[in-house]
Amino acid sequence: MFGILVVEDDFSTRKLMCVVLKNAGFRPIPAENSAEAISLFETEKPALVLCDIMLPDMSGFRLTETFRRMDAEVPIIIVTAKQAPSDKHYGFMVGADDYMTKPVDEEELVLRIKALLRRAKVAFEQKLKFGELELDYTKMNATVHGKDCDLTQKEFLLLFKLLSSVGKIFTRNELMEEIWGATDKNDHTLNVHVNRIREKLEGVTSIELKSVRGLGYKAVKIDEQN
């Protein structure tokens, strides 16, 4: 099970985070201060670290630096009440992979953790299933009733992103940036890809890709539509 080191000095905040993580299928490893955190980091080798900044014995930024020195790969999310842009910049500079400000939305936290773990090629929630449609991130393919849909890599990534957050609308720019790298002025590419996916998923009755005029695209579950 995937261990997540939770470094937070406030009792109820720490307890809340641990419960939320446990419910999401992770194994929370709580730490009250930096010393405890460092020792647990060495013994437990967590898959990800959630680090608060305002700690009693050492600044969370320095703690992040320490973790980075000990392991260059482990994903670290800084969670803190400080929200000035300079603090965010500093957080990234010392090696954090993501930065969240309190109060943290629990759902968002779990989604970000999953995204980071996925990117770190940790095999977690690499599979999505909607009725007869199954997507496997490690294999980069989608199957309908077990039969491969023959999606190209870009088509798969696009579909996976939309299906990871069903119902959420993503702007064209966001999708172009994440999947193609740059904000290509020609978002005709995006339209073409969405249509191709629709064609290849013809026969799927559980989900649908919808375009929201002016705003972007979203994936919706068909039986939940009104």
Query: Which range of residues in 14-22, 130-138, 151-159, 165-173 is near other proteins by CB under 8 A?
Result: 165-173
Among 169, 196, 206, 211, binds other proteins (CB under 8 A): 169
Pick the piece of the chain touching other proteins (CB under 8 A) from 72-80, 113-121, 150-158, 208-216: 208-216
The token pair at 116 is 């980071």
Q: How many residues bind other proteins (CB under 8 A)?
A: 12
The answer to whether 36 touches 51, Cβ cutoff 8 Å, is: no
Q: Which of 70, 68, 71, 91 is nearest to 79 (CA)?
A: 91
Nearer to other proteins, 2 or 90 (CB): 90
Phi, then psi, of 150 in degrees rounded to 5: 65, 45
Is 173 a binder of other proteins (CB under 8 A)? yes
Please tell me the distance from the alpha carbon of residue 150 to that of residue 103, in angstroms, as a whole number. 42
Binding positions for other proteins, 9-38, rule CB under 8 A = none
Q: What is the nearest approach in angstroms of other proteins to the Cβ of residue 25?
A: 23
User: Cβ 217 to other proteins, closest distance in Å?
Assistant: 11
Q: Is residue 56 within the footprint of other proteins (CB under 8 A)?
A: no
Measuring CA to CA, which residue among 95, 42, 92 is closest to residue 68?
Answer: 95
Q: How many CB atoms lie within 10 A of CB 97?
A: 19
Counting contacts by CB under 8 A, is residue 181 touching other proteins? Answer: no
CA nearest to 9, candidates 70, 68, 69, 60: 60
Residues that bind other proteins (CB under 8 A): 85, 103, 168-171, 173-174, 213-216
